[in-house]
């Protein structure tokens, strides 16, 4: 992907995004043009934890940014390690708002570059070069340490710190 569109790599890197207004503008333009993710509906995979065992589900740790687990009616704690594309965050004050609200503003000006407090708005997802949100990281580790049974589904578990949840659960006595 990066070789076909080097600007996409810059849009996904927090340092470029924060430093360059043109990168932010391109990012918002891309978000406006690519609506597929915002229209996505949960399929079988996000619905899986809603089966008969759902009452025993303590937490669901996800690296997905699409909120499809919540849309699939998971009523337990969903820990979004990499954030959500369905919200924006002010990089100055941490205020969050629905993404659609920010996208609606994009059509009426040069885009939602700043919040009311003059902070830069960004998708509430973790970008390359950006630290994981402390809440998601700590929540994932806590849930893993408390698990009796731990499933790792659909992840290569190659990137830390989230790759550490499986050994943490196993070391705490969970069946993995």
Residues with catalytic function: 82
What would the 3-class secondary structure string for the chain be?
CCCCCHHHHHHCEHHHHHHCHHHHHHHHHHHHHCCHHHHCCCCHHHHHHHCCCHHHCCEEEECCCCCHHHHCCCCCEEEECCEEEEEEEECCCCCEEEHHHHHHHHCCCCCCCECCCCCEEEEEECCECCCCCHHHHHHHHHHHHHCCECCCCCCCCCCCCHHHHHHHHHHCCCEC
Return d(Cα 149, Cα 73) in angstroms, integer.
21
Return d(Cα 166, Cα 151) in angstroms, integer.
8
């Amino acid at each position: 992907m990066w070789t076909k569109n080097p600007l996409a790599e810059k849009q996904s890197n927090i340092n470029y995004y924060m430093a360059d207004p043109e990168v932010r503008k391109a990012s918002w333009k891309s978000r406006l043009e690519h609506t597929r993710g915002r229209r996505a509906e949960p399929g079988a995979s996000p619905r899986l934890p809603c089966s008969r065992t759902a009452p025993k589900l303590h937490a669901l740790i996800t690296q997905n940014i699409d909120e499809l687990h919540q849309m699939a009616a998971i009523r337990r704690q969903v820990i979004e390690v990499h954030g959500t594309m369905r919200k924006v965050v002010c990089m100055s004050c941490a205020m969050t708002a629905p993404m659609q609200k920010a996208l609606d503003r994009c059509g009426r000006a040069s885009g939602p570059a700043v919040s009311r407090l003059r902070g830069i708005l960004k998708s509430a997802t973790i970008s390359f070069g950006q630290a994981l949100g402390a809440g998601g990281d700590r929540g994932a580790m806590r849930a893993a340490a408390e698990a009796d049974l731990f499933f790792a589904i659909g992840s290569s578990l190659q990137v830390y710190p989230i790759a550490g949840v499986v050994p943490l659960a196993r070391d705490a006595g969970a069946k993995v």
